[in-house]
Structure 1
């Protein structure tokens, strides 16, 4: 049977597929994958949902993560990932790109581009990474109005409200804000930059007081919570299973793929400068055959009868 472009992309809205993944008892693991090739590699590794980080998108553009990216720029990445892998994705919506009407525009644009979920944060612009100092918080009721606007605008998009309040308002402030955002219509809560296991457990217990260890688990078991396992921040390393045991339904590794890739590119350029070529780095490269298998090169090639099937060179030719 001939390859059909897009045959593996589900017709069901991404928001419904994302929600169904959260009905299972095990934690939903979402690695960062903000461009098509990364999405294909993550899918091949067995992941069922992906995360699109604002920090990863802006860094790829050569910009800091200070809220400068636009809705249309983010939609470019969403469409690319959706087309490549067809997996439901959680997208970083920063502060919503403005006030309530801007949030509604963002929600419609993201959902039409293929997003399954979005998270909004309660910072003021210029915003910062949640693990940095001196974050300025929006008024809790202003943030609640944004959440309500997102809820009103969405068809199926899953709405996650992020609070950065733990650093400045303590656990009481973070919990109070989270409950207000749930009342406004959030589907789940993302407490950012918690820095001990006990903080994660306490937040989960207070959001789900009737569950053992605060664990929300599967269907109908309370408030769904998202954990952020970013490197070089305020959160110690925890595994997905550890987050699940602490009461979290979702975990993201937002910029890990970019950090690894950027370090590899840095090493490549240093090696070219030092050695006059790439020969010292070949064993660290994905081969042409591996790349073509990942992107379905031959399957696309077969769709055009005028193309002769490519024969991939077996390896690097040797010098005479």
Structure 2
């Protein structure tokens, strides 16, 4: 009998070692992750909207656009894909539709976050979150809607706007409500990372974002303190973007001047213009 993607991911998570899932966003990145020998892939929302739609990661993508991208990378990679689903693209009713679409795409896990709409990349400033009660309703909708034993990852972005204590409180609650894994986004020191690992009694996801708000921690240390999965959303997108910029200069073009880090990529695809629009109509 063929093993389903969720079952394979659950098997990997129950085995030895931390599961490492590089960020993929198109067909070639998905193929390369498989060919490099990785056992799972992460559909990065930031990468998908930047590469696929030329947009910054500030809540501009739709559920159907992301589900289409998920189907593409699932087919190309042949791996269990952990798929970013942002806020679920609306209220609990919309979350149900999103889960159904992502399951049709064949993902192994769906990541939902408690940001307000429109969301922002987790390593940008000026984030806001909905109440824990409101997110729990979304989480319940996702857990009820799934039909393929797809894992549901609950991410809290509360560390930035509300502090680490609130983020950990939410992590405890989301785990108690039935989330398969917990993801506390953007801790700001090694001490905070260690506290999350020590206090949150659930399988944990760690987000590796060079030049982001979280300090670099070796994978071996993450595994040692108890993280079960690490995702690397910019591991391919950042060097690929910088390499394209350098290639254009080699061809005689002007330097596109892409800065390192998430904001550098977002600015390359119009972040400042979209931010100005947001401010105009706020």
TM range (shorter): 0.7 to 0.9
> Which residue of 2 is the match for residue 302 of structure 1?
none
SS of 1:162's equivalent? strand
> Which residue of 1 is the match for residue 257 of structure 2?
none
> Which residue of 2 is the match for residue 32 of structure 1?
23
1:159 aligns with 2:152: yes
RMSD value, Cα: 1.5
In structure 1, C-alpha distance between the alignment counterparts of 2:224 and 2:214, rounded to whole Å: 16
SS of 1:132's equivalent? coil
CA contact (8 A) 1:66 1:125 kept: no
When residues 185 and 265 of structure 1 are mapped into structure 2, their CA distance, relative to the original with a 3 A threshold, is same
* Displacement after TM superposition at 1:169 (Å): 2.3
> Which residue of 1 is the match for residue 69 of structure 2?
77
In structure 1, C-alpha distance between the alignment counterparts of 2:107 and 2:212, rounded to whole Å: 26
Deviation string 1:35-69 (CA, Å, 9 cap, x unpaired) is 12111111111100000111101111210111111
1:130 aligns with 2:109: no
Give runs of aligned pairs for residues 236-255 of structure 1, distance below 5 A.
236-255=215-234
In structure 1, C-alpha distance between the alignment counterparts of 2:178 and 2:142, rounded to whole Å: 8
CA contact (8 A) 1:90 1:116 kept: yes
> Which residue of 2 is the match for residue 226 of structure 1?
205
> Which residue of 1 is the match for residue 197 of structure 2?
204
In structure 2, C-alpha distance between the alignment counterparts of 1:84 and 1:130, rounded to whole Å: 27
> Which residue of 2 is the match for residue 16 of structure 1?
7
* Displacement after TM superposition at 1:274 (Å): 5.7
Deviation string 1:196-226 (CA, Å, 9 cap, x unpaired) is 1111111111113xxxxxxxxxxxxxx1000
Give runs of aligned pairs for residues 62-211 of structure 1, distance below 5 A.
62-155=54-147, 156-208=149-201
In structure 2, C-alpha distance between the alignment counterparts of 1:59 and 1:35, rounded to whole Å: 11
Q: Which runs of 5+ in 2 are unaligned?
A: 255-282
* Displacement after TM superposition at 1:190 (Å): 0.2
SS of 1:87's equivalent? coil
* Displacement after TM superposition at 1:246 (Å): 2.2
In structure 2, C-alpha distance between the alignment counterparts of 1:35 and 1:132, rounded to whole Å: 23
1:235 aligns with 2:211: no
Deviation string 1:142-168 (CA, Å, 9 cap, x unpaired) is 001111110001121100000111123
* Displacement after TM superposition at 1:138 (Å): 0.4
Q: TM-score, normalised by structure 2?
A: 0.86
Give runs of aligned pairs for residues 40-79 of structure 1, distance below 5 A.
40-60=31-51, 61-79=53-71
Q: Which runs of 5+ in 1 are unaligned?
A: 1-9, 209-222, 276-320
Runs (4+) of structure 1 exceeding 4 A deviation are: none
SS of 1:68's equivalent? coil
In structure 2, C-alpha distance between the alignment counterparts of 1:243 and 1:106, rounded to whole Å: 31
CA contact (8 A) 1:51 1:91 kept: yes
In structure 1, C-alpha distance between the alignment counterparts of 2:212 and 2:181, rounded to whole Å: 23
